[in-house]
Amino acid sequence: QKEVEQDPGPLSVPEGAIVSLNCTYSNSAFQYFMWYRQYSRKGPELLMYTYSSGNKEDGRFTAQVDKSSKYISLFIRDSQPSDSATYLCAMMGGGNNRLAFGKGNQVVVIP
């Protein structure tokens, strides 16, 4: 079992819809959770950073962490064509400063 599972299947949604992304993980030591957006040929851009379980909201983005289920989510409200990108989940913890990444989800928002 991989440390972080993220269904890489492309996701197409109409403009204005809610985009829902998620990752599961197996390492219970993970405490820090991140979501990144990556445009083609660019470095990943940090969208959300959360520590332990709970919700965090920033504008149209909401990140949720459920440590008991080892499950994290990212929601994008009122999606825009500019949100079309690959979204990567990443996490770390247990005294290890290395990030474990999901495979990434390609999201396409159709105008």
Rounded to the nearest whole angstrom, what is the least distance from the CB of residue 51 to another protein in the complex? 8
- Cβ atoms of 18 and 77 within 8 Å: the answer is yes
Shortest separation between residue 96's beta carbon and another protein, angstroms: 11
Query: What is the total count of residues that contact another protein (CB under 8 A)?
Result: 20
Residue type for position 92: M
Task: From 46, 29, 4, 25, select the one nearest 96 (Cα to Cα).
Answer: 29
Q: Are 27 and 94 in contact (CB under 8 A)?
A: yes
Q: Is 82 helix (H, G, I), strand (E, B) or coil?
A: helix
Mark 18-47 with x for binding to another protein (rule: CB under 8 A) and - for no binding: --------------x-x-x----xxxxxx-
- Name the nearest CA neighbour of 17 among 73, 65, 60: 60
In the complex, what is the shortest distance from the CB of residue 16 to another protein, in angstroms, rounded to a whole number? 27
Q: Interaction with another protein in 78-107: which residues (CB under 8 A)? A: 88, 90, 97-99, 101-104
Residues that bind another protein (CB under 8 A): 32, 34, 36, 41-46, 48-49, 88, 90, 97-99, 101-104
